[in-house]
Amino acid sequence: MVKFLKYMRGYLRIKVWGFSPERFMNLCSNREILLWDIEKDGDTYRMSLSLKSFYRLKSIVKKTGTRVAILERYGLPFLLPKLWKRKVFLAGLVFTLFFWMVSSLFIWDIRLVGNYQITQDSFDTFLKEQDIKIGMRKASLDIEKLEKEIRRVFTQVTWTSAKLSGTKLEINIKENDAPISVELPVETSGADLVCQYDGVIVSMIVRSGVPKVKIGDMVKQGDVLVEGSVPVYNEDTTIREYQYVQADADILLEHAMTVRESLPFDYIEKVYTGRTKTKYYLRVGEKKLELPQNSPFLVYDSLIKESCPLVFEKLGIPLSFGSYTYREYQNVECEYTLSQAETILSEKINTFLETLEEKGVQIIEKNVKIDTSDNMWVIDAGLLVRELVGSSVTIEPEADTVSETGEDINE
C-alpha cells in the first residue's frame, strides 16, 4: 500500500556527494523530508525521496555544500507525460472505458432459475412477446411489470422475482408443487363401462353402476360391462326412473393378444472412413461468426462442441466459441444373421412387454416364434394377459325417452 502511494506520487533515486552528506541527511530529516533506501556507494550516497520533497532540497544543498544528481525517476507523474504522447494507446484506453460504460447500459444475459414444468423454450417465447431480449436497454426494463406478467401468463408460478445484477437479468420463479386441480366437468348424464377386448372376466369389483356381467363370463369388444343408468323401482317393481351415475369398476379381463415385430433382412450401417475436418466458429450473442465452407464430404455427420470461458460467463459477456467436426462415413449395406435378428427382435418384444407390465398388465402366457416373410424377419408373440378393462362411454341423453317409457309404464 505504501509502495503504491509512493508510486502514485512519484519518487526519485538521487546521488549525493560533496562536503558533508551526513549533514545533508540530518537536515532532510529535520525538515521532515523522508529518505529511504540510503546506501553508500564509494564516495557517494544513493537514496530515494519523493518528488515533492526534491524541490525543497535546494537550500539544504547550498547549506551543506553537497551536490545532488538524479539517477532514476519512478512513478506515475513521470509515466503520464510519456503516455500522453502515445495517442493511439490513449484513444484505445478512452474507447475501452467508453465501451464498458455504454455496454453496461444493456442486458447481456437472461437466466431463468427454478423452472421444472415451464420449459426454457416456452419462457423464451414469453420473453420475446414481452419484448425482453438480450441486448435491450436496462432502462426500458420494467421489472415489476415483468413479474406481474410472469404470474399472469404462467398460472403454475406461485412466486417470482426478477433481479438485475450488473448486466445480468436473473429471473427466479417457484412453481406450484401440488398438481393443478383441474375441475372435472360435472356430467349430468352418466357413463357406461364398455369392454375393449374379447375375453373372459377374471375378477370384478364394482363401485358404482349396475354390473351386466359376472366373473367367468365371456365378453366381446363393445359389450357393456357396467351400466351407468341405475333403475329406481316403484313399489310394484316397475321402473319409475333412471338415476345416472359414472359407472366405476375394476374389472380384470383375461384375453389373448398377439404382438408382431418385424425387421428387414438388410440394414445400412455407418462406417466412418476416419477422415475428419474441423471448423471453428465464434458466437457473439445470437450471431455466429464462421468462415464459409462448402460441404466438406459427400456423406458426413457433424459434431458440434461449444464452450464459453468461465470469465465471460461470470461477467455476462455472451461470447463463446465452438467447433464443428465433420466425420465422413460410407453407407454399407449389411444383413442380419439369424442370431442378430433374434436378439434385436426379442429385445423389441421385451421392451413392449415391459411397457405392458408398467401399465399393470399381467402376462400369463407367452409364445414366441421367429419366421421370415417378404425379406423380413418376423417375430410373433402370442400372449395371454390379464388387464383392467372398461372405457367410459357417456350415455346418450335418453332421459326423455326414459321418462317417456317411465310414463308409459305408469300409464
Which residues within the stretch 26-65 sit at the binding site for another protein (CB under 8 A)?
Answer: 26, 28-30, 32, 34-40, 45, 47
Assess 12 for contact with another protein (CB under 8 A): no
Look at residue 348 and give its three-state secondary structure. helix
For residue 22, the minimal CB distance to another protein (Å) is: 5
> Quick one: which of 11, 12, 14, 21 contacts another protein (CB under 8 A)?
21
- Cα–Cα distances (Å) from 80 to 2, 50, 60, 171, 213, in that order, read 20, 17, 29, 45, 101
For residue 286, the minimal CB distance to another protein (Å) is: 59
Which among 24-32, 186-194, 298-306, 382-390 is the span making contact with another protein, rule CB under 8 A? 24-32
Detail the DSSP E strand segments found in 296-375.
300-307, 319-335, 362-372
Assess 120 for contact with another protein (CB under 8 A): no
Of 41 and 183, which CB lies nearer to another protein in the complex structure? 41
Assess 396 for contact with another protein (CB under 8 A): no
Of 17 and 329, which CB lies nearer to another protein in the complex structure? 17
DSSP 166: T
Query: What nine digits make up the cell of 6?
Result: 509512493
Number of Cβ within 10 Å of residue 68's Cβ equals 19
Which among 22-30, 126-134, 149-157, 395-403 is the span making contact with another protein, rule CB under 8 A? 22-30
For residue 62, the minimal CB distance to another protein (Å) is: 18
Of 35 and 206, which CB lies nearer to another protein in the complex structure? 35
**H/E run at residue 233:** strand 229-233
Contact 17, 11 (CB under 8 A): no
Which residues within the stretch 150-169 sit at the binding site for another protein (CB under 8 A)?
Answer: none
Query: What nine digits make up the cell of 48?
Result: 530515494
Assess 22 for contact with another protein (CB under 8 A): yes
Of 33 and 378, which CB lies nearer to another protein in the complex structure? 33
Of 65 and 92, which CB lies nearer to another protein in the complex structure? 65
Of 44 and 262, which CB lies nearer to another protein in the complex structure? 44
Query: What nine digits make up the cell of 98?
Result: 467508453
Distance separating alpha carbons of residues 160 and 150, to the nearest angstrom: 8
Which residues within the stretch 228-267 sit at the binding site for another protein (CB under 8 A)?
Answer: none
Task: List all residues 6 or more positions away from 197 whose beta carbon is below 8 Å from its beta carbon.
Answer: 221, 253, 255, 257, 389
Contact 354, 151 (CB under 8 A): no
State how far Cα 97 lies from the chain centre. Answer: 34
Binding site for another protein (CB under 8 A): 21-23, 25-26, 28-30, 32, 34-40, 45, 47
